Structure 1
Amino acid sequence: MSFALPIDDVLPDLLAAVKTHGQAVLQAPPGAGKTTKVPLALLDVIPEGRIIMLEPRRLAARAAATRMAEILGEKAGETVGYRIRGESKTTAKTRIEVVTEGILTRMIQSDAELTGVSCVIFDEFHERSLNADLGLALISEIRGVLRDDLTLIVMSATLDAEPVAKLLGDAPVVTSEGRAYPVETRWLDKPRASKARLEEGVADLILQALDAEDGSLLAFLPGEGEIRRVEALLRDRVPADCRVFTLFGAMDFKAQRAAIQPAQSGRKVVLATSIAETSLTIDGIRIVVDAGRSRRARFDAGSGMSRLVTERVTKAEATQRQGRAGRLTPGVCYRLWTRGEEGALAAFPPAEIESADLCGLVLELALWGATDPSEMAFLTQPDTGMWSAAQSLLNDLGALDEKGLITAHGRIIAALPLHPRLAHMLVTCGQDAAPLAALLADRDPLPRHAPADLSLRLSALKNPRDASFPPDRGTLQRIRDDAKRLAKITAGIKPQRTFSTAEMAALAYPDRIALRRPGEDPRYLMSGGKGAILNAEDPLAGQRLLVATDLDGDRREAKMRLGLTISEAEIRGLFGARIVRANSCVWSRRDDRIHARTQERMGAIALSDQIWKDVSKDALAQEALKVWQELRPPFGSKSALFLARARLLTGQADVPDLSDAALYADADTWLLPWFVTANDIPRTSRALRSFDTLEALRSYLPHHILLELDRLVPAHFISPLGNKIAIDYSGETPAIELRIQEVFGTTQHPCVGTPPQPLRMTLLSPGRRPLQVTSDLPGFWKTSWADVRKDMRGRYPKHPWPEDPTEAPPTLRAKPRKR
């Protein structure tokens, strides 16, 4: 190899680590040359067996293999070849095989010992794809149990290498410093306005960079939509010597190759997604424009759906993008944010295992024989809730049994290069389902404004010329090619019967059979329990039953982007064993009432719904209690007073927990019997809120405790005159108010509860104005009484104000008039 790259300085250390330890972690910045130089250098160290190198994307796998073959003066498929989905260029003499990450999993599942493979390299591991994490966990187990001779190298540009090295049993870490060429970074002078459009800002920055710099330009945008809009903004504004190209994953390989090849003349502008971040050299690029946004798939276990979210890039991603400008010459990177904003960027993007649909991962591990992810050497363990959700879906599809073990059906669908949903559909329905499987596995070939009806896409697939809306020809051709490949794979499957398109879709999405809710808006409830909504103008909006095949993933109410009409007869034919007839009482929020219904249900949806005429009081009472517990209404004044008194006995034997939380939780013990025996069981929230719970609460306490309650914590204080004064238990301390003359002669302060708690006494004047608040009446007589007497004698001369109130009789009368 005649050309020099920064990786050359550490290749001897890497090869030495491989010889002595059999594994190593290589950390090298973008542009260091690790992708092309490391596999070739290993040819001399590993004289026999194949070297498998994993790349996260098909374009990168092709490009890396082609580049290494050029270095050797060969064509791809000789010493260096590649294998990706639907394409392979290898021969019997191929030593280095570049594959996408999913290919390695298939190799391992078909041959756990990886016969004929001597080395596995994980390139760009910092991307932390689900397949890379799974592959590394499987290889680690293979090295530990079956192949201690298998060489393992993990390469990354921006990932913290130490945790990976520790995961591999303290593997040696080799670090390459420096880039191929320096890159100057330029930031905005001030933050962009919050409402400024991203595409306009990127287009302006591209034009600014082209005016100030020489060479071709690579701009990073979050997705195809943004790329198309920036392309339109640049169409008539770029210099005459510039040609604009686009680069994203959904493009066909011919168009992708045109974007990465050297410009025939003049300069080129490449508008790309994160596909261009790693393992890919685009000839002539020395300017990078970074929009600062990245699009990621986020799976929500609560909704059971994935959605794409656009987020700010992380520092690691920004570093990767910046490095693209220095691959071949010194470069410059323009960032669409200020230097001050950079400090708020997260360090690394989340690993896909933290946010992706885990259905495929769970199935692969079940095929491997692992039902617990903690048994595997994952750098990041998957979320338990998301893991359980994936297991539940696979159980519904018949791929796993109740114990989480893989079934015979699961083994078949695991072998297909599809999401388990679509693989299950394909295995059940055979070749007829291949076009639908290919269509659902790809992006929508029709424009965004097209109706949601999936049959329009299938029609376009059969005859693009007759399509109601202009399809994307490249996407359509890719779907056709995939459909042919899937049909060939499933040629030997003989389904039990012929299935309609709607039935096929329902087999893939049994949790997304949607029933239209009552009302004018086209809102649906799906069998999995989640809500969905259609545009009111959509032709599908009037249909009673649909299968939702594509949703935007909103947690509250997902927008249905694609779906099909399905009949009730088709649902019953497919899922008859899952349809349950049951009587139930259900509270409707819409009309605020508990209804007694007889229903046939599939999951959360009711296919038939009739009045339950002979509903039992027990069933009604159970639902009333459930709603009462959900509403958590405040206790009425009488019940609140009773509870305040009873809580002063808490701690005594036989006194239950009377806190609000405990009473709401245990209401089936003390309140349910009163609902059952009520003449009219409350059915509305208003009736439930006003239901008198006093007698139910009294019955919750044993009889002897009630007697103790009336003795120790009475509802009234009996004054020396025999008057009943209501005790206020609503505050922190029980309290009463009464005229001061009414407690003349009282030498002990009144108490309630156990242990005894003094009443807070508000002593009133004859005009019922507060004179003193005390919890120590004897102390008041001895200290403050004299001052009170002095002030009050002149104001209320007709009332008694004795020097010693402890000796005076209680009274509420004024002094008799003198005659």
Structure 2
Amino acid sequence: MATHLPIEEIREKLASALRAGRRRLVIEAPTGSGKSTQVPQMLLEGGFLGERGQAVILQPRRIAARMLAKRVAEERGVTLGKEVGYTIRLDDQTSAETRIRFVTEGVLVRQMISRPRLEGVQAVICDEFHERHLYGDLTLGRILDLQESARPDLILIVMSATLETEKLAERIGAEVLRSEGRMFPVEVEYLKQREDLSGSGCAEVAAREAERLIRAGKGDVLVFLPGGYEIGRARRDLEGRLGRSEAVVLPLHGEMSPKDQDAALQKYDRPKVVVATNVAETSLTLDGVKAVVDCGMARMAKYDPRRGLETLLVERISHAAAAQRAGRAGRTAPGICVRLETAMDWSKRPKVEEPEIRRLDLAEVALVLAAAGAGRLRDFRWVDRPEEGSVVRAERLLADLGATKGVGGDLTETGKKMAGWPVHPRLARMLIEAGALGCLRGAAGMAALLSGRPLLQRMAGRKGEGAEILWEAEEESDLFVWLRALRFAEREKFHPGPCGRMGIHGGSAREAAAVRDRLLSVSQAMGLTIEESPASGEKLRRCILAGFSDHLARRLDGGTLRCRLSGGRGGSIGRESVVRDRSLVVAAEIKEIGRTDGEVEVMLGLVSAVEEDWLREMFPADFSESRGLVFEESGRRVLQVEARKFRDLILEERKRDVEAGPETAQVLAQAVLDKKCVWPGWSAEADRLVERLEVVRGWSAGEEWPEWNQEAQRPVLQRQCQGCLTWRQANERSAVGAMQDWLGRKRIQRMGELAPDRVEIAGGKSLKIEYGKGREPRVSGKIQDFYGWEKTPRIGDGQVELTLEILGPNRRPLQVTKDLGSFWRETYPKLKAELARKYPKHEWR
């Protein structure tokens, strides 16, 4: 079914390539060319899907998958869900008749867990690949491997409007097809001066510019804002600025109902302003838009180290994404794009988006790969390889959650169950525990709250009207306070007035409730029972522990909120926490705050009290007992410690005195090397010895001199600390003596020849030679000290001249020279008379 869309120009090229046996293609086509809707139909109409084969088109967003399927079904005159359908998380509109299926990126990867050969699928199309979503990269790698093994007949097409096509095509061995498209020119305007876009400022400035464009008769306007909150503010502002007869104002974002989303795409008898998130950047068709207002920001998924989860943060978009947005104004006629920043600020943006594999937590992907039998993260066929630190962190977390048999090991039965949940592994582990304990409703609520934006303002509500009902008598978990707040917001239908007075973000509560309900639907689809009555606090706290056992902390004392965490870290429970008198806690949020002194303060948030007995029941293999020597920093002494540990976190320890011996010397030495205390018995003489050693190492290439590194320092320290139990005892001994013993008599003698500590002068006196890194040896003395010297003395077997700093009686430099003879002949005669007049009591030769 040929159309008049620009993508039609590649129809014959596509068919020729496929008939020639090409199974990997890259299609580059600009925004509005029709590639998302037409390429799947070209495959079907050309017979390339066989009699019953299916084309699966990956979309980065649910709204795009649904709307594109609806559009293609309308074009083909079929019922949605029959020949054309879509599958997104918690919504499947397909049947046995479906030949063209739009899916979100994670759906196909999870499908490959149960159907690794993708039976019934004849073509996979990765759309909008330039956005470099993690699951898009993962799908590409899986399909490449599948083509080269069990499915050489499988067609792979990668499509994008902005992509380094040649580079990608070379990497995957694909042929490139291009459609030039028909883009009209778009005039770009910038703000003349920087404006405050924080808080509601972004929405206010966007509404002002959209009003200006409507009144100027620029046609329909598309406004890009980061999220639902900003969209709501801008919409209310615009409705106040524009009368209903002037324009219709419509929101568009992924959390809206399908009916409300469809309304934004309809045609009206008057101009419309569509206020949207980045869902409107690509794929969706918004006819009539000739003007774009771009705030230059979007909510992007990033790894949040505080919770060990992914979260959505507002970030600046790249030039490539901004070009996509501007292109929306030039699809049918010349248009205009207003960017809410100055031209200078625009120039500082990144050129392209950073791939998600570089900014997201990889634990979920590692779990999916293992469940699909696709190997480990580091062995996978990535377009861009993940950083090793991210891989290690993901594998460590899966092991801690009990999903794998050790770090990087095979999946456990628990891990296989976790892979079936469409959430982060932490939350999946929580929900599995909840299913076993019969507390899914409460656990789903906590999982939803943890995966979204903060529900409560910091300390807000405690002094508000009736806000004490959130905190009243609660001392077991901060998340229980959040659950109360969520229930309150639901009763008030998320109205911003009552919610605001309680310190609750109504929008965040609405999002959390929707996620909770979706999780409960998944639970029911898995055959799990949802409890009718509220679950006990103990059960819910066990669920939290299951998902965040690596965030376990032990209170150090009852008088403060200080804690000890795994990895030897120290931290403090946040002052707003309701959990204050429990010895063991688990934190769903750990935040590191940099201080002005360069140190990092670790704060524990969303804290829940837990019991050691629960740890033993859930993670019995992670307990251990140890006995060893430690350096106690407060007393600067060596003690014997018997410890009971959960992983590397000490739960209980007993300290005893110990007798001195070789092992105690090793512990003291290591404490110095770890900078827990300064080197005992160190002196300026020790500094000079080190300087002289470095000098002779550089001067005597033919001789073997040891390097003064940690490997050398360890035996010196151990020698000095032999027989000591405390730093004070070791401090009574000379570091120089231990260093000289280490060097040996012959080397000390040779060092004295090459780089002596002092040089003799008249009258049996001597001057100290100063050695320093990066500078020449120097002697500093009064002019009378050098009487009797006719030329500059040499050291280093006569190869190195000393630098002489000649001082006057007032100890101020008169001359710095290596040529003492020249000084006596030329400079000294000129100085002598003046110096003798000023200092008559000194000797002047």
Under TM normalisation by the shorter chain, which class is it?
A: 0.7 to 0.9
Contact 1:261–1:283 (8 Å) recurs in 2: yes
Contact 2:307–2:588 (8 Å) recurs in 1: no
CA distance in 2, matches of 1:232, 1:2: 43
Report how far residue 317 of structure 1 moved: 0.9
**Corresponding residue for 1:440?**
447
TM alignment of 1:140-155, pairs within 5 A: 140-155=144-159
**Corresponding residue for 2:689?**
642
CA distance in 2, matches of 1:104, 1:794: 97
1:670 maps onto 2:716 in alignment: yes
Report how far residue 681 of structure 1 moved: 1.3
CA distance in 2, matches of 1:750, 1:519: 68
Which sits farther off after the overlay, 417-426 or 86-95?
Answer: 417-426
**Corresponding residue for 1:23?**
24
1:303-362, Cα deviation, whole Å (9 max, x unpaired): 955454433221111122223334566643222123454333322111111111111222
CA distance in 1, matches of 2:839, 2:567: 77
1:602 maps onto 2:602 in alignment: no
Any gaps of 5 or more consecutive residues in structure 1? 803-819
Residue identity matched to 1:421: R
Which sits farther off after the overlay, 770-779 or 58-67?
Answer: 770-779
Residue identity matched to 1:32: S
Contact 1:50–1:95 (8 Å) recurs in 2: yes
TM alignment of 1:559-570, pairs within 5 A: 562-570=606-614
Contact 1:315–1:345 (8 Å) recurs in 2: yes
CA distance in 2, matches of 1:360, 1:768: 71
1:621 maps onto 2:660 in alignment: no
Match of 1:697 among 733, 739, 747: 739
Helix, strand or coil: the match of 2:740? helix
**Corresponding residue for 2:466?**
none
Residue identity matched to 1:249: G
1:529–1:234 distance in 2 versus 1, CA, 3 Å: farther
Residue identity matched to 1:681: W
Report how far residue 475 of structure 1 moved: 4.1
1:229-285, Cα deviation, whole Å (9 max, x unpaired): 434544533323344443333444454444x34266655433322122222224554
1:289 maps onto 2:333 in alignment: no
1:550–1:734 distance in 2 versus 1, CA, 3 Å: closer
CA distance in 2, matches of 1:237, 1:204: 8
Report how far residue 753 of structure 1 moved: 3.4
1:121–1:516 distance in 2 versus 1, CA, 3 Å: same
**Corresponding residue for 1:548?**
587
Contact 2:680–2:733 (8 Å) recurs in 1: no
Contact 1:300–1:553 (8 Å) recurs in 2: no
Report how far residue 576 of structure 1 moved: 4.5
Match of 1:424 among 421, 429, 432: 429
**Corresponding residue for 2:141?**
137
1:799–1:178 distance in 2 versus 1, CA, 3 Å: closer
CA distance in 2, matches of 1:354, 1:266: 45
Report how far residue 110 of structure 1 moved: 2.1
1:463-510, Cα deviation, whole Å (9 max, x unpaired): 9549996764564244124213224416499xxx99721111111112
Contact 1:158–1:316 (8 Å) recurs in 2: yes
1:61–1:633 distance in 2 versus 1, CA, 3 Å: farther
1:398-443, Cα deviation, whole Å (9 max, x unpaired): 3333472422433343233232223334445535354324641553
**Corresponding residue for 2:33?**
32
Which sits farther off after the overlay, 291-300 or 432-441?
Answer: 432-441
1:367-410, Cα deviation, whole Å (9 max, x unpaired): 44454556443221111111111111122223333472422433
Helix, strand or coil: the match of 2:776? coil
Report how far residue 32 of structure 1 moved: 1.1
CA distance in 2, matches of 1:364, 1:186: 45
1:13-60, Cα deviation, whole Å (9 max, x unpaired): 223223321232111111111111111121122243111111111111
Report how far residue 131 of structure 1 moved: 0.6
**Corresponding residue for 1:810?**
none
Match of 1:74 among 74, 78, 82: 78
CA distance in 2, matches of 1:83, 1:577: 41
CA distance in 2, matches of 1:331, 1:163: 32
1:122 maps onto 2:166 in alignment: no
Which sits farther off after the overlay, 7-16 or 770-779?
Answer: 770-779
Contact 1:741–1:800 (8 Å) recurs in 2: no
TM alignment of 1:9-408, pairs within 5 A: 9-20=9-20, 21-45=22-46, 46=48, 47-48=50-51, 49-169=53-173, 171-179=174-182, 183-192=186-195, 197-213=201-217, 215-241=219-245, 242-258=247-263, 260-262=264-266, 266-282=270-286, 285-299=289-303, 306=310, 308-327=312-331, 331-371=335-375, 373=377, 375-402=379-406, 404-408=408-412
1:489 maps onto 2:490 in alignment: no
1:234–1:647 distance in 2 versus 1, CA, 3 Å: same
Residue identity matched to 1:667: Q
Which sits farther off after the overlay, 531-540 or 65-74?
Answer: 531-540
**Corresponding residue for 2:776?**
732
1:680–1:453 distance in 2 versus 1, CA, 3 Å: closer
1:636–1:528 distance in 2 versus 1, CA, 3 Å: closer
Any gaps of 5 or more consecutive residues in structure 2? 462-469, 471-476, 494-498, 531-535, 595-599
Residue identity matched to 2:479: L
Number of equivalences: 786
Contact 1:17–1:23 (8 Å) recurs in 2: no
Contact 2:577–2:605 (8 Å) recurs in 1: no
Contact 1:248–1:275 (8 Å) recurs in 2: yes
Report how far residue 202 of structure 1 moved: 1.9
1:767–1:291 distance in 2 versus 1, CA, 3 Å: closer
CA distance in 2, matches of 1:180, 1:770: 76
Let me know the Cα RMSD of the aligned residues.
4.2
CA distance in 1, matches of 2:808, 2:515: 94
Report how far residue 96 of structure 1 moved: 0.8
1:112-170, Cα deviation, whole Å (9 max, x unpaired): 3221211111111111111110001111111122222111111111122112211221x
CA distance in 2, matches of 1:681, 1:736: 36
CA distance in 2, matches of 1:124, 1:602: 46
1:732-784, Cα deviation, whole Å (9 max, x unpaired): 2241536658754x677543334553344556789988777654556767777
Report how far residue 626 of structure 1 moved: 3.7
Which sits farther off after the overlay, 430-439 or 85-94?
Answer: 430-439
Contact 1:301–1:385 (8 Å) recurs in 2: no
CA distance in 1, matches of 2:262, 2:97: 26
Report how far residue 84 of structure 1 moved: 1.4
1:179-226, Cα deviation, whole Å (9 max, x unpaired): 466544333234436889333322322222232235443321123333
1:453 maps onto 2:474 in alignment: no
CA distance in 2, matches of 1:691, 1:780: 45
Larger Rg over CA atoms: 1
Contact 1:747–1:777 (8 Å) recurs in 2: yes
1:625–1:233 distance in 2 versus 1, CA, 3 Å: same
Which sits farther off after the overlay, 153-162 or 461-470?
Answer: 461-470
CA distance in 1, matches of 2:733, 2:214: 75
Which sits farther off after the overlay, 160-169 or 766-775?
Answer: 766-775
Instruction: Report the TM-score, using the length of structure 1 for normalisation.
Output: 0.83
CA distance in 1, matches of 2:278, 2:266: 20
Contact 2:86–2:93 (8 Å) recurs in 1: yes
Residue identity matched to 1:607: L
1:624–1:559 distance in 2 versus 1, CA, 3 Å: closer
CA distance in 2, matches of 1:213, 1:466: 41
Which sits farther off after the overlay, 771-780 or 788-797?
Answer: 788-797
1:585 maps onto 2:630 in alignment: yes
1:708 maps onto 2:750 in alignment: yes
